[in-house]
Amino acid sequence: MRYLPLETADRQAMLSKIGAPDIDALFGDVPEEARLDGPIRDLPNHASEMAVDAAFRQMARKNSAAADMPFFLGCGAYRHHVPASVDHLIQRGEFLTAYTPYQPEIAQGTLQMLFEFQTQVARLFGTDVANASMYDGSTACWEAIVMARRITKRGRAILSSGLHPHYVSVAKTMARFTKDEIVHSAPELAASGDSADLLDRIDDETSCVVVQYPDILGRIGDMSELAAKAHAHKALLIAVVTEPVALGALVPPGEMGADIVVGEGQSIGVGLNFGGPYVGLFGCSQKYVRQMPGRLCGETQDVEGKRGYVLTLSTREQHIRREKATSNICTNSGLCALAFSIHMTLLGERGLRELATLNHAKAARAADRLARIPGVDIVNESFFNEFTLRLPQRARRIVRKLADDRILAGVSLNRLYPDEAALANGLVVAVTETTSDADVEALARGLEAVLESAREGEPA
Partner 1 sequence: MSMNNQGRPTRPLEAEGAADTFTGNRALMLEEPLIFEIGAADRTGVDLDAAPEAETRLGGLERNRPIGLAGLSEPETVRHYTRLSRMNYAIDLGLFPLGSCTMKHNPRLNERVARMKGFADIHPLQPIDSVQGALEVIHELGEWLCKLTGMPAVAMSPKAGAHGELCGILAIRSALEARGDAREVILVPESAHGTNPATAAFAGYRVEDIPATPEGRVDLAALEERLGPDVAGVMITNPNTCGLFEPDMKRISEAVHAAGGLVYCDGANFNAIVGRVRPGDLGVDAMHINLHKTFSTPHGGGGPGSGPVVFSEALAPFAPLPFVEKQGDHYVLIEEETAEDHHESSFGRMVAFHGQMGMFTRALAYMMSHGADGLKQVAEDAVLNANYVLRNLEDVLDAPFAASGPCMHEALFSDKGFADGFSTLDLAKALIDEGYHPMTMYFPLVVHGAMLVEPTETESKAALDEFIGALRSVVERAKAGDESLHAAPFHAPRRRLDETGAARKPVLVWTEPETAEAAE
Min dist. Cβ of residue 61 to partner 1 (A): 6
Which residues in 386-415 contact partner 1 (CB under 8 A)?
Answer: 399-400, 403, 408, 411, 415
* DSSP conformation letters of 149-206: HHHH---EEEE-TTS-HHHHHHHHHHHHHHT-EEE-----S-SS-SHHHHHHH--TTE
Establish if 308 lies at the interface with partner 1 (CB under 8 A).
yes
Please say which residue, 151 or 317, places its beta carbon nearer to partner 1.
Answer: 317
Work out whether 8 is an interface residue with partner 1 (CB under 8 A).
no
DSSP 69: S
**Which of 21, 28, 457, 459 lies at the binding interface for partner 1 (CB under 8 A)?**
28
10 Å Cβ neighbour count for 81? 11
Q: Is 291 in the site for partner 1 (CB under 8 A)?
A: no
Q: Quick check: 226 binds partner 1 (CB under 8 A)?
A: no
CA proximity to 402, closest of 437, 369, 448: 448
Exactly one of 236, 338, 423, 451 binds partner 1 (CB under 8 A); that residue is: 338
Q: Please report how close the Cβ of residue 455 comes to partner 1 at its closest, in angstroms.
A: 23
Nearer to partner 1, 106 or 449 (CB): 106
Task: State yes or no: residue 14 binds partner 1 (CB under 8 A).
Answer: yes
Residues 101-120 that bind partner 1 (CB under 8 A): 101-110, 112-113, 115-116, 118-120
Binding residue count for partner 1, defined by CB under 8 A: 212
Among 319, 372, 374, 456, indicate the residue that binds partner 1 (CB under 8 A). Answer: 319
Which uninterrupted H or E stretch holds 238?
strand 236-241
User: Does position 139 bind partner 1 by CB under 8 A?
Assistant: yes
Residue (308 or 375) nearer to partner 1, CB? 308
Q: Which one, 258 or 355, has the nearer CB to partner 1? A: 355
CA atoms of 406 and 415, how far apart (whole Å): 19
CB neighbour list of residue 445: distance below 8 Å, 6 or more residues apart? none
Residue of the chain from 70, 79, 156, 450 that contacts partner 1 (CB under 8 A): 79
Q: Does 295 bind partner 1 (CB under 8 A)?
A: yes
Please pick, from the candidates 189, 199, 346, 376, the single residue that binds partner 1 as defined by CB under 8 A: 346
* Per CB under 8 A, 449 contacts partner 1: no
310 binds partner 1 (CB under 8 A): yes
**Residue 299 contacts partner 1 per CB under 8 A:** yes
DSSP element (H, E) containing 320:
helix 318-321
Q: Which residues inside 34-73 make contact with partner 1, applying CB under 8 A? A: 34-36, 39-47, 49, 51-53, 55-68, 71, 73
Sign of the torsion angle spanned by Cα atoms 124, 101, 333, 270:
positive
Report how far residue 86's alpha carbon sits from residue 341's, in angstroms, rounded to the nearest whole number: 9
Contact criterion met (CB below 8 Å) for 333 and 279: yes
List 188, 225, 354, 448, residue binding partner 1 (CB under 8 A): 354
Q: Is 459 in the site for partner 1 (CB under 8 A)?
A: no
Give the nearest distance from C-beta 173 to partner 1 in angstroms: 3
Min separation Cβ 203 and partner 1, Å: 25
Pick 328 or 453: Cβ nearer partner 1: 328
Question: Do 379 and 387 touch, CB atoms closer than 8 A?
Answer: yes
Is residue 372 at the binding interface for partner 1, with CB under 8 A as the rule?
A: no
Return the number of the residue (58 or 196) whose C-beta is nearest partner 1: 58
**Is-contact 385 243, C-beta < 8 A?**
yes
- Peptide bond just before 39 cis, omega within 30 deg: no
By CB neighbour count within 10 A (0-12 exposed, 13-18 middle, 19+ buried), where does 76 fall? buried
Paired sense of beta strands 280-284 and 236-241, if any: unpaired
The DSSP code for 60 is H
| Residues 192, 380 contacting (CB under 8 angstroms) | no
- Contact between 155 and partner 1 per CB under 8 A: no
Q: Which is nearer to partner 1, 42 or 456 (CB)?
A: 42
Report phi then psi at 2, rounded to 5.
-75, -5
What is the footprint of partner 1 within residues 182-211 (CB under 8 A)?
Answer: none
**Binders in 237-276 for partner 1, by CB under 8 A:** 247-252, 255, 264, 271-276
Site for partner 1 contains 438 (CB under 8 A): no
Closest by CA to 70, choosing from 451, 453, 434, is 434
Which DSSP state fits 450? H
Of the candidates 185, 194, 237, 236, the residue with the CA atom closest to the CA atom of residue 215: 194
